[in-house]
A and B are shown apart, each in its own frame.
Chain A
Amino acid sequence: MSGNILVVDDEIDILNLIKIILTKKGYQVITASTLNEFYQMIDVNLRLILLDDVMPVKNGIEICRDLKKHPETAQIPVIIFSASGSIGKKEAALEAGAEEFLVKPFSIEKLTSIVNKHYPLNSRLIDNN
C-alpha cells in the first residue's frame, strides 16, 4: 500500500486524528504504531514523515537520526511532534535532523500549515496525476 505521508505514533487516537485531518486536506496517509510496522512501511517514495517523540523501544528523535543516516531516506522531510515544549527538546529534534518541531496539542490549522510547508498541496496534485 503506497502513500505519501507516514505518521508514526504509539497513541492510536492521535494517529487517527492526524490521518483524518491530513486525508481531509487531500493527502494520502499511512500509519505505523509500532517500530516493526514502521520498518515495514518505510519507503523511499515517501514525501513526509511525522514522528511522535515519545515511543517505546525507539523514540522519534532516534528514528529521525536513523532516517537521516541512510542516503535513501535522508531527504524525506521529518516533522517531530512532542508534548514537551522545552527548548532542549526542540534543539534535540533539530539536531537529529528534523525539519520541524511541533508542540502538542496542536490545532488543525497549525498542523496543516506545517505539513503544507514541506509538502505543498499543489505538488501532491502533480503526484497523483
Chain B
Amino acid sequence: MRVLNVELPLDESFLKMEIGLSETTRAVLDYVQDYQEKHLYVLLNEESNFEINIQEYISLCETDEEKQIGNEIALLYSQLALSGFEIIDFQDKQNEALFDLRDRVFDITNLLKYFSEHYVNRNQTSPYDKENMHAIIEFTVIVGELHAGVEGVIAKHTPHEVPDFNYYSPKLESAYSSYKDVIGTISERTYLNQIYSNMKELFIMSEELIQKEDLLREKLEEFEYNREQIDLKLENQIKKIVNKKKELAAQEVLASSRLTLNTSIIDSIFSFMLMGGLLFGVNLWIITPILELEVGIQNFASGKLDEKIQVKTKDEIGKLANAFNNMTTQIEEKIETIMKNEQKLEELNIDLGNEIQTRKEYEKEILRVARETEVDRLRSQFLSTITHELRTPLTSIKGYIEIIRAGWVGDVPAEMEETLDIIIRNTDRLSNLTSDLLDVQRIESGRLEVEIVPIDLIEVIEQSIREIKPFILEKEQILDVDIPDLPLMVLGDSTRISQVLMNLLTNASKFSEERTPITLEAKDINGEILVSVQDTGIGIKEGDHERVFKPLAMIDKPIYVKGTGLGLSISKGIIDLHNGKIWVESEGEWKGSTFFLKLPKIKVNDS
C-alpha cells in the first residue's frame, strides 16, 4: 500500500494496527507450531498495544461513523485475542494428551516384557521361537510401531500424524484371541489381559487426540477468518482516508504527469505489436516444425512408419526432419528384410522338424532291424550249439553200440543183438528228432536251405521205398507202388524230397492199422508231377485238413501215435521252398487219407 507522503497521525495508527494484527496472528500460529512460551508473551504484548492504538485512532476520528467503526474493530480484535489464547491452551492440552499416549505405550512395552520373560521361562522356550511366541511377537511389533509413531509425532510436532490405530486394531485383536486360549498361569493371564486392556485404551486415547486435532484446525480457521474481517475493516478505513487525500493530491499531480501517462500507453502498444510479431515468427519457424517433428516421432513410435514428416525448412529442424525420414525408411526396409528372414526361418524350421521326424523313424526302423538281426543271430548261434551238443554224444553212442553190435569187442549173442538194435534205433530216433527240431526252427525263421538241382524224382521215390520197407514189414502192411518207368525230372533237393516222402510214408504206416494197404503213386500231369500216398488209417477230421501241416499241431487222434507232430510242417516247409504244393484229402475219421505232392516238372534236354 503506497501511502503518499501526507503527514497525518492516522497513517501511523493504521500502520501500527496493521502490524499489530499481523503479529498477533503470527504469535498464535507460531505457538501452535513450536509450543514456545515466548509466543504467548508476544501475544499478550500485541494485545495491549493494539488496544492502545485503536483508542488512539478513535480519538483521532473526525466523524462519528469513523468512531463507530473504530469501536467495532476494537471489539473484534479483543475477541480475536481471546480466541488466540484459547487456541494456545488447546494446543497445550493436545501436547499433554500426546505425552500421555507415549507413557501408555511405554507401560505396555514393559508389561509385554514381563509377560514375555515369564512365558519364556515357564515354557522353556526362546523369545525367538516364532511358533510359541507368535502372539507376543505380534504384540511387541505393534507396540514397537506405535511407540515409534508416537515418538515421531512428538518430535515433529505433528499430532495429526499419530499412527493409524484402525490399522493396528485388527492385528491386536487377532493376536490376543490367538493367545488367550493358550496362556497357562494366572499371572500370565493377568499380564496378557492388562496388556490387552491398555492397548484398547491406547486406541481410544489416540482417537480422541485426532478428534481434538481436527477441532484445533477448525479453531485456527475461525481465527484466521476473524482476523481477515478485522483486516478488511482496517483497510476499508484506510482506503477511505487515503482516497480523500488522493483526490486532493491527484489533481495536483495529474497536470504534471499527463504526458508521461500518454507515452507509456504508446510504448505499451508498440511493444505489444513487437511481441505479437515475435510470437508469430517463433510459432511459424520454430514451434510448428517442432510440433510436426513430434507428430512424426509419435507416428514412428506407434508403428506408422510410412507417414513421413513434411520438410518445409532447410534449417536444423529441416535437416533433423530429413534425417528422421531417412531413418524411418531404412528401418522400414530392415523390418521387411527381417520379416522375410523370419518367414524363411519358419519354413526351415518346419523342414527341420520333418527331417528330424523322418530320421527318428529311420532310427527306430534301424534299431528294430538291428535287434531282429541280433535276435536272429543269437537264435541261430543257439541252434548250432544245441545241435552240436546233442549230436556229438549221439554220435558216440551210436558209434560204440555199432562197434559192439559188429562183434568187435566180443561175441554178441542173438538176444544181445536185438537189444543193441533197439539202442541203435533209439539213437536214430533222437538224432532224427534233433534234426526235425532244427528244421522246424529253420523253416520258421526262413533259413532252411535247399539245394535245388535237377533230380530224378523216380530215383528218390525208389530210395524212399527201400528205406520204408522195414517199417512196413513190421506192421505187416502192404505197399502198392504205381510209378512210371521213365525218369521224372524236377528241380529239387534230393535229400529233402526224400525226407518228405519218408515222412508221408511213415505217417501212412503209423496211422494205419496192421495189415492194411498203403498206395504210392506218381503221375505226370500237364507238366506237373503229382505224387500221392494213400492209406486206410485214422483219416483227418473235418476242419483239420490245414491244421495238420502246422508244427506241433497235436490234433486229437483216436489212437496214440508216437512222434512230435513236426514231420508234416517240415514237409510243407520243404515243398514250399520247391514252389510245390502239399495237401491232404480225407473223408473223415477212420476213412483213410491221401496226401498229395505237386512239383513242377522240368524238360529233359536230349543230349
B is a partner of A = yes
Q: Which residues of A does B touch, CB under 8 Å? A: 11, 13-14, 17-18, 20-21, 24, 54, 83-88, 104-108
Q: A105-B431, A107-B402 are in contact. Are A84 and B395 (CB under 8 A)?
A: no
Interface string of B389-425 (1 = CB under 8 A from A): 0111111111110110010100000000000000000
Let me know if A14 and B387 touch, CB within 8 A: no
A108 contact from B387, B393, B406, B431, Cβ within 8 A: B406
Partner of A17 from the list B387, B388, B395 (CB cut-off 8 Å) is B395
Report whether A108 and B402 are in contact in the complex, using a CB–CB cutoff of 8 Å: yes
**Given the complex, which residues of A lie within 8 Å of B408, measured CB to CB?**
20, 24
Q: Is the CB of A21 within 8 A of B399?
A: yes
CB distance from A93 to the nearest CB of B (A): 14
Q: Can you offer 14 A-B residue contacts whose CB atoms are under 8 A?
A: A14-B395, A17-B403, A18-B399, A21-B399, A54-B388, A83-B388, A83-B390, A84-B384, A87-B449, A104-B391, A104-B395, A105-B394, A107-B398, A108-B399
Closest 10 CB pairs of A and B: A83-B391, A105-B395, A17-B399, A87-B449, A83-B388, A13-B396, A104-B395, A105-B398, A105-B394, A108-B402
**Listed residue (A84, A85, A104, A107) with the most chain B CB atoms within 10 angstroms of its CB:** A104
Which of these, B392, B427, B442, B450, contacts A14 with CB under 8 Å? B392
- C-alpha spacing A24/B403, complex, angstroms: 10
Tell me the nearest residue of chain A to B393, going by C-beta: A13
Give the complex CA separation of A14 and B397 in angstroms.
Answer: 9
Beta-carbon nearest neighbor of B390 in chain A? A83
Q: Are A84 and B399 in contact (CB under 8 A)?
A: no
Bound complex: CA of A85 vs CA of B150, how far in Å?
110
> What separation, in Å, do the CA atoms of A87 and B392 have in the docked complex?
19
Q: Which residues of B contact A (CB under 8 A)?
A: 384, 387-388, 390-400, 402-403, 406, 408, 427, 431, 435, 442, 449-451
Cα–Cα, bound, A104→B384 (Å): 13
A-B contact count (CB 8 A): 58
Distance of A91 Cα from B169 Cα, bound (Å): 104
Residue from the list B392, B399, B400, B406 in contact with A83, Cβ < 8 A: B392
Specify which chain B residues have a CB less than 8 angstroms from the CB of A107 in the assembled complex. 398, 402
Closest to A88 in B: B449
User: Among B384, B391, B442, B449, which residue has its beta carbon within 8 angstroms of that of A105?
Assistant: B391
Q: Which residues of A contact B388 (CB under 8 A)?
A: 54, 83-84
Cβ–Cβ contact A86 & B449, under 8 A: yes
- Chain A residues near B403 (CB-CB < 8 A): 17, 20-21, 24, 108
**How many angstroms from the CA of A105 to the CA of B384 in the assembled complex?**
15
Q: With a CB–CB cut-off of 8 A, which chain A residues contact B397?
A: 105
Note all chain B residues with C-beta closer than 8 A to A104.
Answer: 391-392, 394-395
Cβ 8 A contact of A106, one of B384, B390, B395 = B395
CA distance A11 to B399 in the complex (A): 13
Contacts of B450 in A (CB 8 A): 87
A11 to B397, CA, bound (A): 13
Cα distance A13–B450 when bound, in Å? 32
User: Assuming A17-B400, A21-B399, what are 14 further A-B pairs, CB within 8 angstroms?
Assistant: A18-B399, A83-B391, A83-B392, A84-B384, A85-B435, A104-B391, A104-B394, A105-B395, A105-B427, A106-B395, A107-B398, A108-B402, A108-B403, A108-B406
Q: Give the residues in chain A near B398, CB-CB below 8 Å.
A: 105, 107
Residues of A within 8 A of B431 (CB): 105
How distant is the Cα of A2 from the Cα of B434 in the complex, in angstroms? 38
Which chain B residue lies CB-closest to A103? B391
User: Once the chains are docked, how many angstroms separate the CA of A39 from the CA of B392?
Assistant: 24
B393 CB contacts on chain A under 8 angstroms: 13
Distance in angstroms from B463 CB to nearest chain A CB is 15
For the complex, what is the distance from the CA of A20 to the CA of B431, rounded to whole Å? 22
Q: From A20, A87, A106, give the contact of B451 (CB < 8 A).
A: A87
CB-CB nearest in chain B for A9: B392
Q: Which residue of A lies closest to B388 (CB)?
A: A83
Distance in angstroms from A94 CB to nearest chain B CB is 12
Q: Please measure, in the bound complex, the distance between the C-alpha atom of A60 and the C-alpha atom of B71, giving whole angstroms.
A: 150
- Within the complex, the shortest CB–CB distance from B309 to chain A, in Å, comes to 89
Q: A87-B449, A88-B449, A105-B431 are in contact. Are A17 and B396 (CB under 8 A)?
A: yes
Q: Which of B393, B394, B399 has the most CB of A within 10 A?
A: B399
Min distance, Cβ A28 to any Cβ of chain B, angstroms: 17
Residues from chain B with Cβ under 8 Å of A106 in the complex: 395, 399
Q: What residues on B are CB-neighbors of A24 within 8 Å?
A: 403, 408
Whole-angstrom distance between the Cβ of B411 and the nearest chain A Cβ: 15
Q: Which residues of chain A are within 8 angstroms of B394 by Cβ–Cβ distance?
A: 104-105
Q: A18 CA to B396 CA in the complex, in Å?
A: 9
Query: Who on chain B is nearest to A11 by CB?
Result: B392
Q: Among the listed A85, A86, A87, A105, which residue makes an inter-chain contact with B399, where contact means beta carbons less than 8 Å apart?
A: A105
Bound: A21/B394 CA distance, A:
16
- A14, B399: Cβ atoms closer than 8 Å: yes
User: Across the interface, which residues of B come within 8 angstroms of A86, CB to CB?
Assistant: 442, 449
Q: From residue B519, how far is it (CB to closest CB) to chain A in Å?
A: 31
Residues in chain A near residue B449, CB distance under 8 A: 86-88
Chain B proximity of A122: nearest CB distance (Å)? 22
Closest A residue by C-beta to B451: A87
Q: How far is the CA of A99 from the CA of B555 in the complex (A)?
A: 45
Nearest Cβ on chain B to A128's Cβ, whole angstroms: 21
In the bound complex, residues from chain B placing their C-beta under 8 Å from that of A84 are 384, 387-388
Looking at the assembled complex, report how far the CB atom of A54 sits from the nearest CB atom of chain B, in whole angstroms: 5
Q: Can you name the residue of chain B whose Cβ is closest to the Cβ of A23?
A: B408
Chain A residue at minimal CB-CB distance from B409: A20
Closest Cβ–Cβ distance, residue A76 to chain B (whole Å): 24
Residue of A at shortest CB range from B424?
A: A107
For the complex, what is the distance from the CA of A18 to the CA of B427, rounded to whole Å? Answer: 18
**How far, in Å, is B467 (CB) from chain A's closest CB?**
13
In the complex where A20-B403, A105-B427 touch, is A83 in contact with B387 (Cβ < 8 A)? Answer: yes
Using Cβ atoms and an 8 Å threshold, which residues of chain B touch A14? Answer: 392, 395-396, 399
A55 → chain B, closest Cβ, in Å?
11
> Closest chain B residue to A105 by CB distance?
B395
Residue of B nearest to A52 (CB): B392
Chain A min CB distance to B470 (Å): 15
Interface centre among B387, B394, B442 (most CB of A within 10 A): B387
Determine the chain A residues whose CB is within 8 A of the CB of B395 once the complex forms: 14, 17, 83, 104-106
Nearest Cβ on chain A to B441's Cβ, whole angstroms: 11
Least Cβ distance of A100 to chain B in Å?
16
Q: Name the distance in Å between A32's Cβ and chain B's nearest Cβ.
A: 17
| Neighbouring B residues of A83 by C-beta, 8 Å | 387-388, 390-392, 395
